[in-house]
Amino acid sequence: MGKVNFQSHKVDLLIPAEKVYSFILDLNNFQKMMPEQVVNWQSTSDSCAFDIKGMAHITLQRTEAIPEKFIRIVSGPETPIELELRAYLEKQNPEQTAAWIELTADLSPILKLMVSGPLQNLVNIMAEKLKAAQI
Contact 13, 127 (CB under 8 A): no
Torsion of CA 27, 31, 32, 36, to 10 degrees: 160
Amino acid identity of residue 117, one-letter, is G
CATH code for position 15: 3.30.530.20
Domain that holds residue 124: 2-132
Confidence of residue 9 (pLDDT cuts 50, 70, 90): very high
Name which of 77, 85, 46, 82 is nearest 62 in CA terms: 46
0.75 exceeded by pTM: yes
Confidence of residue 1 (pLDDT cuts 50, 70, 90): confident
Name which of 81, 75, 59 is nearest 1 in CA terms: 81
Question: Tens digits of per-residue pLDDT, 88-131?
Answer: 999 999 999 999 999 999 999 998 998 899 899 999 999 999 99
CA distance 24 to 70: 10
DSSP state of 26: S
Q: How many folded domains does the chain comprise?
A: 1
Helices (H), the chain: 17-25, 109-132
Question: Tens digits of per-residue pLDDT, 43-94?
Answer: 999 999 999 887 789 999 999 999 999 999 999 998 988 999 999 999 999 9
